[in-house]
Structure 1
Amino acid sequence: MTIEFVARLVFSLLMLLVLVWDARFLRIPDKLNLLVAGAFVPFAALQGLAWDVLLGHVGLAFFLFACFLAVAMLGPLGGGDVKLAGAVGLWIGSAPGVVRWLVAAGVIYAALLLIALMFRKTGLIYRCSSLRLPAWLRDLLSPDVSLRKAVIPFGVPLAAGAVYWAWI
């Protein structure tokens, strides 16, 4: 196994942890975001990244943090999503990689919405009261709750898109 493979694997596992945590609790703890960002350091050292390349990674992380912070001030994103964007940007380190990540996250978000609309229309899952779903998912799938009031945790598509970036 190469160090790059191990780095991708560790990053993907961390993103899956973020995905599950955000889906369950609708928040991404600072400690988890610090873990994602901090895990980059040993892999960067082991890969022998040059200082200018490393500074590019850090610069991109700050840029993404600032962009996501601006969006969060307008509404839908939370602080955990903003910090996650910075941590993921640290790993990605290039503009084409960021585009690939954000497009994947957008497609995943749209797919989640389309699936939710499909289930709202049929009422299939909502009628299965024995399912123990998180409140946000129950609201999203419920035809009784306005879709404008329903919440989708943005960390879920961001983390899933990051896993896509890591392997594709």
Structure 2
Amino acid sequence: MIVAFIVTLIFAVPLLIAAYTDFWSMKIPNKVSLAMAAGFVIALPMTWQGLPALAEHLSVGLVFFAAGFAMFALGWLGGGDAKLMAAISLWFGWGDVMPFVLYTTLFGAALGIFMMLSDTLLPVRVRTSELGMRMFQGGKDMPYGLALAAGALFVWPTSSLFVALVG
């Protein structure tokens, strides 16, 4: 059980840092995505399930890397979000992909709706603060790292990797 706790920390800490930095600066530093991917490599011996499982995780990561690159090229996703999405996906098998996409989409939609309705939901002093001006005024940008982190954390307890850890 201690191994599951350690691996969960290795998984969760970069996600929480990504969500925090994206919320406050609308940027996800490369070192956070790198830490997420490196965490997978560090956790690999503790979660070893054989070469076929490793190939599955790497193929999921490669597909999400290509998808993130395409979404970035089309202007649908920021570069930091695309890199974080690829790093997160290393931790998931194919059976975890649809729940991850679904939860991330739902959290992203909720965040988008909240940002669109912020004029009516938030007090004036919040909207006119430095953070409020950056988050809710003007641009179409939103800190999608929050949705990615929330989606990943939501799926983690049912993911194939976590289930294998706890038996």
The normalised TM-score by structure 2 is 0.83
2:157 matched to 1:161? no
Once residues 24 and 86 of structure 1 are traced to their aligned partners in structure 2, the CA distance between those partners, rounded to angstroms, is 22
Distance in 2 separating the partners of 1:108 and 1:119:
16
2:51 and 2:61 map into 1 onto residues whose CA distance is 15
Percent identity, aligned pairs only, is 28
Indicate the residue corresponding to 2:114 in structure 1: 115
Partners in 2 of 1:109 and 1:160 — Cα distance?
9
In structure 2, what is the equivalent of residue 98 of structure 1?
97
Does structure 1 retain, via aligned residues, the 8 Å contact 2:118–2:136? Answer: no
| Matched residues, number | 158
Unaligned runs of 5+ in 1: 140-144
2:10 pairs with 1:18:
no
Distance in 1 between residues matched to 2:150 and 2:24, nearest whole Å: 15
Give the drift of 1:135: 4.2
Which residue is 2:67 aligned to?
67
Q: Distance in 1 between matches of 2:34 and 2:136?
A: 30
* Distance in structure 2 (CA, Å) of the matches to 1:44 and 1:129: 44
Letter paired with 2:28: I
1:3-14 correspondence to structure 2 within 5 Å? 3-14=3-14
Task: Tell me how far 1:129 sits from its aligned partner.
Answer: 6.5
Unaligned runs of 5+ residues in structure 2 are 159-167
Query: So what's the TM-score if we normalise by structure 1?
Result: 0.83
- Residue by residue over 1:23-82, the C-alpha shift from the partner in whole angstroms, topping out at 9 and shown as x without a partner, is 111111111111110011121112223122112111110110001111111112122111
Cα distance in 2 for residues equivalent to 1:24 and 1:77:
17
What stretches of structure 1 move > 2 A for 4+ residues in a row?
Answer: 113-119, 124-132
Counterpart residue identity of residue 4, structure 2: E
Displacement after TM superposition at 1:128 (Å): 4.0
Q: What is the CA deviation profile of residues 109-144 of structure 1, one whole-angstrom value per residue up to 9, with x for unaligned ones?
A: 11112223333135x3334468452643141xxxxx
- Distance (Å, rounded) in 2 between the aligned partners of 1:134 and 1:30: 25
Q: Distance in 2 between matches of 1:126 and 1:97?
A: 41
> Cα–Cα, structure 1 residues 131 and 37, in superposed 2: closer, same or farther, change >3 Å?
same
